[in-house]
Structure formats: C-alpha cells, structure tokens
C-alpha cells in the first residue's frame, strides 16, 4: 500500500472541525484578558488602592500574554499544539480560581499575570494560529482569519457575561465560576487537537499566491532573523497606531461630553466590525498574499486615523469607529500568514508567537504612550498624529518587503 501523501488531511472536514474547536478555545481563553477590565473598579474598591495600582493586573496580563506566546509556540513546535493548550486550560482555570481567592492586590496580580496571562491565555492564541496555518493551503488566509476572530469574539461575549454575574454574585464568585467552567469545557476540547499536522516537520517551501515558491532559508533574500525582526518592528508600529482608538475611545468621548456609555458603544461597534474585517481580509489574502493584505490594511488604517482629526461629532465618531474596525481587523492575521508563507513549518509556532508578541507589545505601548501624550498636551489630537506616524513606519517596512518580493 502506498503511504498517504503528507497533505492528505489538509482542508479536509477534520481540518475544518479542528478550526471550529480552535475558534472556541480562543474565545474561551480570551476571558483571561477581558475579565480584569470589567472587574477593575471592584478590585480598586475591594483592595482599597489607587486606579493606577488597580490597572497593574491588566498590564501584567498583557505582558504575560505576549511572552507566553513564544513559550507556548515552542512547546507546540516540539510536542504538538494539544500539549500547550491542555496546560493553558489548566493554567487559566486555576488562575481564575486563585484570583478569586486572593487576599491582596499582589496575589491577584500574580494570578492574572503568571497563571492567566503567561500560562493560560497565551496558549489559546499564537499556538492555535500557527497550528491552523499548517492544516490549510488554498484557504489558509480565510482559516487564519476565522481562528483569530476568536480574540474579538471574546471581547464581545465575555464582558457583558462577566458584568452580569459580578452584579448578581460578586466578582470573587464570578472568577471562581469562570475558572471551573474553563476547566470543564476547555480540557475536552483540547483533546480534539491531539492529531499532529499533516505536513512533514522539516523545512517545506510554502507557496505564496503572489510570489510562487519561497526559499525558507533566505526568505525575500534576507536571513530569517532579519525578516522576523522587520516583521516585529512592523507589528509594534501598526499596533501602536491601532491602540489609540481602541484603548482611548471611551475616554475621548467622555472628554468631548458624550459620556462613557457612548464611547463603550463605539468600542463595541469597532470590535464588531473588526470580526467582519478579519473574515473579509482572510478571503482577500488567499488571493493576493499576506504582504499585500498587510499593505492594504495599513493604508486603510492610516486613512481612518486621519479621519479622527477633523471630525469630533457624535454621529461622525460612530461612523469612523465602524470604519476603523472594518479597516484594521485584518492586519494582525496578515502577520501570521506572512510567517507561514516565508518560514519553515517546523518553526511556525515559535516565529508566529514572536511576531504576535510584538503586536501585543505594540498595543500595550500605544495605549500607555497615548495617555502620556494626552497628559502633556491636554488633547488627543497629538496622540492621533503620533499613531499616524507609527502607521507610516509600518507602511515603509511593508513596502520595502514587497519591493524585495517583486525583485525576486
């Protein structure tokens, strides 16, 4: 009997089933990132600390999320994605339970940053993205977009659910309940991922829709380390720009006199349109490739940021927020596709985790930087201009890489 070809399971019904499981796991894992923003006022009151101190758990969670992506990616490369996801499910569940039982802010912060960020949520992001890229060929961009929509779905689903139970049962009981729920649901789902990817573990030249066969030893004529470094700088730059509206839209609306509720609605519109953007961009990337999709998203994101400068009315801000979400939602998935197109599949987990870590650091840096600029200037106008500047840096890197791709 002839052995099965290495890609026999690619884009099979099992691959699509696996994609839906990955989407569910990413949506569930996102609870670790969004829960702390909902309970922040309760944490501040319960532990009797300042607002800045109460914000520390979120910062630690995001740092742990980014660093953990690299660690979990390496584990997935070596042992398969099921291992880090199983560990992440346990870390996330125990993290929620430990945070709910914490007696001080430092204990709560440790549970958030170490258990829920570094060991929990991180296992349900970069490793799942890298794994999904290895099960699809022709529809790889679409599959990656669907998988990474789980991050936005988590942002749409978890906050109202958590807020409901916090108001009715208290934040500690809510945290413990989520922890038990994650353990009961995520562990069985992780077992579905036990089959290893159909591709061989050694270097395999990926095919780009726009560039043909790719040399994974010298991608785009650069060393792998150089290309990854450029992608990391690009990821930081685009997400510094992206974070300005996402992190500060509520405060911006409050300053304009529209109230926090209107700002929260605009954020919801932004994230909702982001889901549609990821799906549309995934379809586009299957036809034009990751680099060109990243260029398109970066250009459109810059246009949306420019629109925030002259318009500050209520209706225009709703429209611009929706456009911003529609324009930028496909940017981050493009990085995962670029990594898959230009690097060895055997390194997919670690390299995807590193690049996605850079995007998360960009979000954290941009959110903090915009606040500092506002404190210095008393206005968000300069912060928007700062975001546009970083977006131009991202564009310059993408154009440079595209020119090298065209020459080759």
Size of the chain in residues? 408
3-state class (DSSP) for residue 222: coil
Other C-beta atoms lying within 10 Å of the C-beta of residue 173? 13
Successive 10-residue mean pLDDT values, the chain, 408 residues:
47 91 96 80 83 74 87 90 96 97 94 94 92 88 90 82 86 96 97 81 41 65 90 94 82 81 79 86 89 94 94 92 89 88 80 87 81 84 93 96 85
**What pLDDT, on the 0 to 100 scale, is given for residue 214?**
58
Q: What share of the chain is helix, strand, coil (3-state, %, to 5)?
A: 80, 0, 20
Distances (CA, A) of 100 to 26, 29, 90: 22, 17, 15
* DSSP assignments along 156-221, one per residue: HHHHHHHHHHHHHH-HHHHHHHHHHHHHHHHHHHHHGGGSPPSS-SS--PPEETTTEE--SSSGGG
Q: Which residues pair with 213 in a beta bridge?
A: 207
**What pLDDT, on the 0 to 100 scale, is given for residue 202?**
40
The pTM (predicted TM-score) of the whole model is 0.76
Biggest distance spanned by C-alpha atoms of the chain: 73
**What pLDDT, on the 0 to 100 scale, is given for residue 349?**
77
Query: How far is 76 from 69, CA to CA, in rounded Å?
Result: 10
Domains of the chain and any CATH numbers: 13-194 (1.20.1250.20), 207-407 (1.20.1250.20)
Element of type H or E holding 373? helix 348-377
């Amino acid at each position: 009997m002839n052995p099965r070809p290495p890609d026999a399971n690619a884009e099979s019904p099992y691959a699509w089933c696996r994609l839906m499981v990955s989407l569910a796991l990413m949506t569930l894992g996102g609870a670790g990132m969004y829960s702390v923003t909902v309970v922040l006022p309760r944490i501040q009151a319960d532990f009797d600390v300042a607002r800045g101190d109460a914000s520390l758990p979120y910062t630690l969670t995001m740092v742990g999320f980014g660093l953990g992506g690299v660690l979990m990616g390496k584990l997935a490369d070596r042992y398969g994605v099921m291992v880090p996801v199983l560990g992440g499910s346990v870390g996330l569940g125990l993290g929620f339970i430990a945070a709910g039982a914490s007696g001080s802010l430092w204990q709560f912060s440790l549970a958030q940053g170490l258990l829920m960020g570094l060991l929990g949520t991180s296992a349900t992001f970069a490793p799942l993205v890298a794994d999904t890229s290895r099960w699809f060929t022709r529809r790889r961009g679409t599959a990656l977009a669907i998988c990474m929509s789980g991050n936005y779905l988590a942002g749409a689903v978890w906050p109202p659910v958590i807020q409901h139970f916090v108001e009715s049962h208290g934040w500690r009981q809510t945290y413990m309940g989520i922890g038990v729920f994650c353990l009961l649901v995520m562990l069985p789902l992780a077992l579905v991922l036990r089959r290893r990817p159909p591709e061989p573990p050694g270097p395999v030249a990926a095919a780009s829709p726009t560039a043909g066969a790719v040399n994974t030893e010298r991608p785009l004529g650069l060393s792998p380390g150089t290309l990854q470094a450029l992608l990391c700088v690009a990821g930081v730059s685009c997400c510094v720009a992206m974070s300005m509206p996402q992190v500060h839209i509520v405060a911006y609306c409050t300053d304009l006199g529209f109230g926090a509720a209107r700002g929260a609605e605009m954020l919801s519109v932004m994230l909702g349109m982001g889901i549609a953007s990821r799906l549309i961009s995934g379809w586009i990337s299957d036809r034009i490739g990751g680099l060109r999709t990243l260029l398109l998203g970066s250009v459109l994101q810059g246009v949306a940021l420019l629109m925030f400068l002259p318009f500050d009315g209520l209706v225009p801000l709703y429209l611009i927020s929706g456009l911003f979400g529609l324009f930028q939602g496909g940017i981050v998935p493009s990085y995962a596709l670029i990594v898959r197109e230009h690097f060895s599949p055997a390194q997919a987990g670690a390299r995807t985790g590193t690049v996605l870590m850079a995007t998360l650091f960009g979000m954290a840096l941009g959110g903090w930087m915009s606040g500092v600029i506002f404190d210095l200037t008393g206005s968000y106008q300069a912060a928007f201009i700062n975001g546009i500047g970083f977006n131009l840096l991202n564009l310059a890197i993408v154009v440079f890489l595209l020119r090298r791709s065209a020459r080759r």
